[in-house]
Amino acid sequence: MLFLALKALISGILIAAASTLAKRYPGFGALVASLPLVSVLGMIWLWGEKPDTGNMAAHIGATFWYILPSLPMFVVMPVLLRHGFGFWLTLGIGCALTIVLYTALVALAPRLGIAL
């Protein structure tokens, strides 16, 4: 339970740091937010709990494929905001788009020989 609390604390601090930086330096905050910190921390936490190279390789490979459907959200959302859409609506559309693309990936991946 202590390990879970430590993981949550460290992860939360990184998210808070990125959003705090973004208030004053949007570009630098975006850089910190774009770093694969969640993925790297996830790998560290997973390795600490289950040091298995096969499992880790599968996790990292699946992470790559799951990143791809999330990328269009970062193209669509700034366009919508610049065209006057409200933040919450834009966020909802971006998340909905990502869910649709995740669903498509999960459906298509096995047919393309991609292990998720």
**pLDDT tens-place string over residues 29-76:** 888 778 788 788 889 989 999 999 999 999 999 999 999 999 999 999
Q: Given this model, what pLDDT does residue 31 score?
A: 80
Q: Given this model, what pLDDT does residue 30 score?
A: 80
Count H helices, E strands: the chain? 6, 0
pTM comes to 0.76
**pLDDT tens-place string over residues 97-113:** 999 999 999 999 999 99
Burial of residue 94, with CB atoms counted within 10 A of its CB: 0-12 exposed, 13-18 middle, 19 or more buried: buried
- Across all residues in the chain, what is the average pLDDT? 91
